[in-house]
Structure formats: C-alpha cells, structure tokens
Amino acid sequence: MDTSKLVTDTLARGCAWLVFPAPLEQRFLRDGAAQRLLLLQVAGLGSAVFFAGMVLADYFMIPDQLSLAVILRACVYGPICLLGVWFFTRYHWPRLIEWAVAGAGLLAAGISIVLSLSSGSPLAVAHLVILSVVVVYATLIGRFWPMLVMCVLIAAGHAYAVHQHGQWLNGLGLATTLLLLSSMVFALYGNYTLEHSDRQVYLLDLQESSLQAELTAANDALALSARTDPLTGLANRRHFDDFLAQVWAHSQAQRSSLAVLLIDIDHFKRYNDQHGHQAGDRCLCEVAQALAGTVRKTGDLVARWGGEEFAVVMSHASREMAQVMAQRVVDAVRQCAAPHGGLATTAPPVTVSIGVAALTPWHGETAQALVQAADTALYEAKARGRDQVVCTPREGLLQARIKVRA
Ligand SMILES: Nc1nc2c(ncn2[C@@H]2O[C@H](COP(=O)(O)OP(=O)(O)OP(=O)(O)O)[C@@H](O)[C@H]2O)c(=O)[nH]1
C-alpha cells in the first residue's frame, strides 16, 4: 500500500490507540528519532541531577537513612541514568528508549520505596510523595503506553509500601495514595492528549508533503509532456523554439557559432501509402532513434519539427562541424532498420535530406532567419536528388543574406 493512502486511511480511522500501522509507525519513530533523543538526553541528565537533589527531602523526612539515600541516589540512580543516556546516544533504538524512560521512572520510584520502608522516621510514609513527583516528571517526557505500565507498577509498589507501614486507607498513607492517584490521572491524561496530537500533526504533515510531492510530479510530467513529441519522445517544436532562443542568446553573448540542421525523410508519403500509416509511425520512431543516437552532445537538441521533419540545434558548432554531423545522420538513418520499399530507386533503406545553416549571431539577426536558411538548404538537397546534405554558404555570405532578408 502506498504511503499517501496509508496516511489518509489512518487519519480517517484516527489514532485513539496511539499506534499506527507497522510501516507508518516505523517511519514515525525514525522521523522523530533525532528530536526525541535530544529531549530524552536532556531529560535524562536533568533527572540524574533532580533525583540527587531529592536528598534534601530525605534529610528532612528520613534523616536516619540519609547515608543510604546518598548512596542510592548518587551511586546507583545517577550512574545508571548517565549510562542509559550514553547507551542510547550510541545505539539508536527509538522503541527501546521509550521503555527505558519507564525503566528509569520505576528505578527512581523503587529507590524511594526502599528508603521509605527502611526508615523508622514518623515521616517515612509522607516520604512516598516523591513517587508523585517521579510520575509527573516521567510522564512529561515519556510516551503513553510505557508511562501507563510504569504508573500501574508504581501504584502497586506504593500500595505495598503503605500496607507495610500499616497505614492502608488511613492517615498519611491515604493522603499519599490520593495524591499519587490524582497525579497519575492528570499526568497520563495530559500525556495521552499530547501524544495524540503529536501523531495527528505528524500524519497531517506527511499528507501535506505527499500531496506536495504528487503535485510536483504531476507538474513535472505536465511540463515534460508539454515539450515532448508523444510519438517519438523527442523534443517538440515548442521546446525546439525555446531552446534555439536560449542557445541563440548565449551564442550572441559568447560570440560563438551555432548551427541548425533541418532533416526531412525522403518520399515519406510513398512510404505511408505503401506500408500504411502505422508502419509510417514506426519508421518515424526509428529515424528519431537514429537521430538521437547520433547527436548526443550536451548542449545539442534533437526535435521533431513536425510531420516527417526533424531539426537539430548544435551549440558551439561551426559550419564544418555541423556538416560532418549532418553526414553522420544521413549515414545513421540509411543504416537503421527501416526498409523503404516504396520506391525502387531509394529501396531498400529509408533516407533523409538535410539542410544545414551555421553562423555566429550578431545584433540585427534572428534565430528564425537561421532556420529559414537551413530550410532553403534542405529544399536544395531535395532538388539535387535527396539522400544528401546541403550546407548554406560560408558564414559571411549567409550573414549578408540573412541581413538582406531581415
Ligand atoms: N505515419 C505518419 N505519417 C506522417 C506523419 N506526419 C506526416 N506524415 C506524412 O508524411 C508525408 C509527407 O509527405 P510530403 O510532404 O509530400 O513529402 P515526401 O513524400 O516525404 O516527399 P519529399 O519530402 O519531397 O521527399 C505525408 O504523407 C504525411 O501524411 C505522422 O505522424 N505519421
């Protein structure tokens, strides 16, 4: 299934369970991985500092266990947290890192429960409020499902601790229980809402970028078809005109020579009459291929001029270079697989006649005049018996003629 359909379906279905179909979920994790990692790195380092700072609460509430608290906070939780941050910075496991956040929360809560249970202080039960702080801190950054599991386990640990303290449903035990449960409900609700909107926004972004990509592809295809001849796949007349105008301007600025070749298939009407229009189309394609295979220099363009005529623009090409290229085209077409067969004198191969014109453009001349000159040369090639190249006069002479015409 393609991504854009998957995204549309998922948007329509909604993501109430905070999980996308597998390929989308993988992409969601991958795309958000760098940002999540940064957040969790900062939060992980912050939690090591924050949890060490909790030693102040230990000092006031369970002074008899202060040294154990320092050991557990500074020598157990802190290093494990730093190790986790190092591990996930080195190994990018976006799914596991979310569960590691829950693991860190559970470790912090576990340490608080151990400290509370091992203390004989009258405030040992009140010390369990730290669990609410742990829950809020973790759910601010964690993903919903790992946080839900963490909350359930912390709630069970808390219930066990107040039960051990003998304050199940009374006094401070009840107060810390209510505080913990309400913190969990609010924190999880906020967490769910945030993750839900996070996912929704991700889907909408994805949908927009895939629509954008489709639009760009459609525009590109449209632009390509607007300048391509559908039968031969060569550039069409419009593209030829635009390209010639560009090369002309460039050659004028650079004072370099350019050439135009006009190519016409000989006796093509007879070919059509003999073999039918479809075979004529195939023949046009073969000639087009022969042309494209011969004129391959970047900066040159082969186009279908219209009907059975083709045209070539050669940038940075002198009259002599263009003449050599035209002769190669004549040979290539003669060798291509299309047998003429329509006329005894030209059978077996299909042949072309070519008119060549080349000059260095000066002000006052136009590209159209150059094409006109190539057309006149083509006419002459036909008149001289076809299957040949005729070049316009040398540059100076051609320039003079073009000026006279203009
Ligand atoms: N099959 C096919 N034939 C085409 C296409 N476009 C033009 N033609 C045919 O090309 C032929 C051109 O004929 P003419 O202009 O008389 O030229 P010619 O028979 O090639 O004769 P010379 O150019 O003088 O050698 C016509 O029969 C057109 O129908 C096309 O797209 N496909």
CATH number at residue 399: 3.30.70.270
Q: Is-contact 105 135, C-beta < 8 A?
A: yes
Per-residue confidence (pLDDT) for residue 342, from 0 to 100 = 47
**Residue 286 structure tokens:** 């073969």
Q: For residue range 23-44, what is the model confidence (pLDDT) as tens digits?
A: 999 999 999 999 999 999 999 9
Per-residue confidence (pLDDT) for residue 32, from 0 to 100 = 94
- Which of 178, 198, 213 finishes a domain? 213
Is 387's C-beta closer than 6 angstroms to any atom of ligand 1?
no
* Distance (Å) from CA 199 to ligand 1 centroid: 61
Per-residue confidence (pLDDT) for residue 251, from 0 to 100 = 94
Q: Please determine, for residue 396, whether its predicted confidence score (pLDDT) is greater than 90.
A: no
Is 269's C-beta closer than 6 angstroms to any atom of ligand 1?
yes
> Are 253 and 150 in the same domain?
no
> Are 119 and 197 in the same domain?
yes
Classify residue 30: in a domain, yes or no: yes
> Are 24 and 124 in the same domain?
yes
**Residue 266 structure tokens:** 């000989």
Is 272's C-beta closer than 6 angstroms to any atom of ligand 1?
yes
* Distance (Å) from CA 263 to ligand 1 centroid: 12
- Which of 213, 247, 267 finishes a domain? 213
Nearest CA to ligand 1 atom 31: 307
Classify residue 222: in a domain, yes or no: no
What is the average per-residue pLDDT within 278-291? 94
Q: Please determine, for residue 403, whether its predicted confidence score (pLDDT) is greater than 80.
A: no
> Are 183 and 242 in the same domain?
no
> Are 131 and 250 in the same domain?
no
Per-residue confidence (pLDDT) for residue 338, from 0 to 100 = 60
Nearest CA to ligand 1 atom 11: 269
Is 157's C-beta closer than 6 angstroms to any atom of ligand 1?
no
* d(C-alpha 4, C-alpha 384), whole Å: 61
> Are 194 and 249 in the same domain?
no
> Are 111 and 174 in the same domain?
yes
* Distance (Å) from CA 270 to ligand 1 centroid: 8
Nearest CA to ligand 1 atom 1: 280
Residue 305 pLDDT level (bands cut at 50, 70, 90)? very high
Mean pLDDT across the chain, nearest whole number? 92
> Are 265 and 137 in the same domain?
no
* Distance (Å) from CA 319 to ligand 1 centroid: 28
Atom number in ligand 1 closest to CA 266: 25
High-pLDDT (> 70) share of the chain, %: 93
Is 274's C-beta closer than 6 angstroms to any atom of ligand 1?
no
Per-residue confidence (pLDDT) for residue 170, from 0 to 100 = 79
Q: Domain count for the chain, please give it.
A: 2
> Are 23 and 71 in the same domain?
yes
Q: Please determine, for residue 398, whether its predicted confidence score (pLDDT) is greater than 70.
A: no
Atom number in ligand 1 closest to CA 283: 1
High-pLDDT (> 90) share of the chain, %: 85
Classify residue 231: in a domain, yes or no: no
Is 265's C-beta closer than 6 angstroms to any atom of ligand 1?
yes
What is the average per-residue pLDDT within 126-154? 97
Q: For residue range 239-282, what is the model confidence (pLDDT) as tens digits?
A: 999 999 999 999 999 999 999 999 999 999 998 998 899 999 99
> Are 28 and 87 in the same domain?
yes
Q: Please determine, for residue 80, whether its predicted confidence score (pLDDT) is greater than 50.
A: yes
> Are 55 and 165 in the same domain?
yes
Per-residue confidence (pLDDT) for residue 346, from 0 to 100 = 45
Per-residue confidence (pLDDT) for residue 171, from 0 to 100 = 82
Classify residue 392: in a domain, yes or no: yes
> Are 265 and 311 in the same domain?
yes
| pTM summary value | 0.67
Nearest CA to ligand 1 atom 18: 267
Q: Please determine, for residue 81, whether its predicted confidence score (pLDDT) is greater than 90.
A: yes
Classify residue 225: in a domain, yes or no: no
Rg (CA), the chain: 40
Domain boundaries, position 320? 237-405
Is 307's C-beta closer than 6 angstroms to any atom of ligand 1?
yes
What's the gap between Cα 34 and its chain centre?
18
Is 237's C-beta closer than 6 angstroms to any atom of ligand 1?
no
Q: For residue range 352-388, what is the model confidence (pLDDT) as tens digits?
A: 999 999 999 877 778 999 999 999 999 999 999 999 9
Classify residue 206: in a domain, yes or no: yes
Is 308's C-beta closer than 6 angstroms to any atom of ligand 1?
yes
Per-residue confidence (pLDDT) for residue 165, from 0 to 100 = 94
Q: Please determine, for residue 57, whether its predicted confidence score (pLDDT) is greater than 50.
A: yes
